[in-house]
Structure 1
């Protein structure tokens, strides 16, 4: 029983040991610098951020993000079937066609409701 898990256990132990070793080496050998204010300021894409920490995103940002994740994950389910379509046969092709049509209908519904409009 243990022999089946032995390579995975060895891999996890060695990976953890390498992580701990690198952290210890970084603490011992790494350059130690004094903290300065400019290192603690928010910084993104090469431009210092001027946005307040309490900046609020509009609801449309979250709505579009959730819709993107929803449709992205649904399309991801097509990949395994597409890779083995010959093995699954005609039934899988019909089922995937129905899935894509329903996905398209849902997209049209969301689009017509104005959920993709940036406000």
Structure 2
């Protein structure tokens, strides 16, 4: 069996070397891909660390889904004990998400406050506006 594995790996390397293109890729293909925008000049600043943080958070929650898959396959056999285990695991991961949000891990910039164009509508302000309109009409 080991010999078959070695033959398969060696054969794959030989076929790859024979069939692979032997020309150097163009500069456009070697450039990093950023949202489909072709870079016109070298970026003067470093890549923001926030992107790596979001990627790590994604990996954490992706692993949570991988851990929950076996439970989804055999949940009838595990019964209530398995359900309690998954709920504890999910609560722990959800707690991690709450912690990340409270620490500002998903904050991307200054907080944008909602600016109201008109003062808040209350019953008294509506009555005052209607009264003002009726005085102008009369």
Question: What's the TM-score once normalised by structure 1's chain length?
Answer: 0.68
Taking structure 1 as reference, are residues 46 and 87 closer, same or farther at Cα in structure 2, changes over 3 Å only? same
* Cα offsets for 1:19-68 (capped at 9, x unmatched): 30341x347xx6x66x6xx9134264765333526741222222222111
Q: Distance in 2 between matches of 1:46 and 1:58?
A: 18
Q: Distance in 2 between matches of 1:18 and 1:96?
A: 42
Aligned equivalent of 2:27: 40
Question: What's the TM-score once normalised by structure 2's chain length?
Answer: 0.60
Q: Which has the higher contact order (CA 8 A, sep 6+)?
A: 1
More helix by share: 1
Unaligned runs of 5+ in 2: 110-138
Q: Distance in 1 between matches of 2:59 and 2:32?
A: 26
Unaligned runs of 5+ in 1: 1-5
Taking structure 1 as reference, are residues 55 and 81 closer, same or farther at Cα in structure 2, changes over 3 Å only? same
Alignment of 1:55-66 (within 5 A): 55-66=45-56
Aligned equivalent of 1:106: 96
Picking from 106, 114, 117, the partner of 1:116 is 106
Aligned equivalent of 2:121: none
Aligned residues between the structures: 106
Aligned equivalent of 1:13: 7
Query: Which is higher, the Rg of structure 1 or of structure 2?
Result: 2
Query: Cα RMSD over matched residues?
Result: 2.9
Taking structure 1 as reference, are residues 50 and 93 closer, same or farther at Cα in structure 2, changes over 3 Å only? same
